[in-house]
Amino acid sequence: MDTSERLDGRALSYIGIALVTWSSAYAAIAYALASFTPGEVALARLAIGSLCFGLLMLLKRIPLPARRDWPQLAMLGVIGLTTYHLCLNYAETRIASGTAAILISLVPAATAAVSAVWVGERLSARTLAGLGVALVGVVMVVLASGKQVKFEPMAALVLLSVLACSIYFVGQRPLFARNSMVGVTAFTFFAGTLATLPFGWQLPQALQTAPWSHIAALLWLGISPTFIGYLAWNAALRRASASQVSSFIYFSPPIAVLIGWLWLGERPGMLTLVGGVITVGGVVLANARRRAAPALAAVSEPT
């Protein structure tokens, strides 16, 4: 497989929606963890997302994926949703947010590696160089944020989240060719939610004693970063390669800094701005494509 797909305007808009909603999740997770365990936060988030996907499928009369794909989709749901959210939530109870931001930013590189091994996606030297440049920019943004960056054993859980997320991104994409994108995403959420039940089985009791503001944080996590974010992200994955789309995850820390500037008045320093520019340049370089010779005929894939 070659990374010849071009990111069109619609794919970029989907990516933008996903990144903005995902960037708001970190604060909501930290807020909800004051009243709920990491397992309860993961279960609530995935259950709300599953409910939203189920309602969408009923309203739009979207069928479930083909039965032959159910085992693979169930595996992807457990790996990419259950494992990812549990590991990230548990890690955030122990490590600094700056540490988590740096490690999560390894997702594009990990996705590129998984794509090369799993689906034979060939990555150019320009793409690899762009991923490296963008990672340098992300590190600069995080280090300039003024937050403590201290690596400890619990950080290994974030690395596991990175691998789980990469497998999820790459494994779904081939299934979009013969199934509805919404159906594929919904099925992984159904499986991921069921696998999270043993870790959050006391959620009903916790909801009875938690303040409404913390419950609202769970609702926000389930609807915005989870339902809307994953729906938009997978819509982008349907239109371009996993390595191309995942490279935009490098924008997440700069977006978080921008949100803090606009909402909290946390004005970024010069190093943060320089790091943001380097990140943008790296993503542009990673997604740049040589101009191909004009073809005699073009066959478009039906949408």
Mean pLDDT of the 157-162 span = 81
Residue 251: is its pLDDT beyond 70? yes
pLDDT band with cut points at 50, 70 and 90 for residue 203: very high
- Give the whole-number percent of the chain exceeding pLDDT 90: 38
Contact assessment for residue 236 and residue 15, using Cβ atoms and an 8 Å cutoff:
yes
- Note the pLDDT of residue 138: 64
pTM of the model: 0.76
Query: What is the distance, to the nearest Å, from the Cα of residue 179 to the centroid of all Cα atoms in its chain?
Result: 21
* Residue listed under structure tokens 């606009």: 262
- pLDDT, averaged across the chain: 79
Least-confidence region, from 74-88, 131-145, 154-168, 193-207:
131-145
> Long-range CB contacts (< 8 A, 24+ apart) of 267-275?
268/144, 269/144, 271/140, 271/143, 271/144, 272/140, 272/141, 272/144, 272/145, 274/140, 275/136, 275/137, 275/138, 275/139, 275/140, 275/141, 275/143, 275/144
- Note the pLDDT of residue 299: 37
99 sits in which H/E element: helix 97-104
pLDDT band with cut points at 50, 70 and 90 for residue 48: very high
In terms of pLDDT, which residue wins out, 280 or 45? Answer: 45
Mean pLDDT of the 118-138 span = 68
Residue 155: is its pLDDT beyond 60? yes
- Note the pLDDT of residue 4: 45
- Note the pLDDT of residue 303: 39
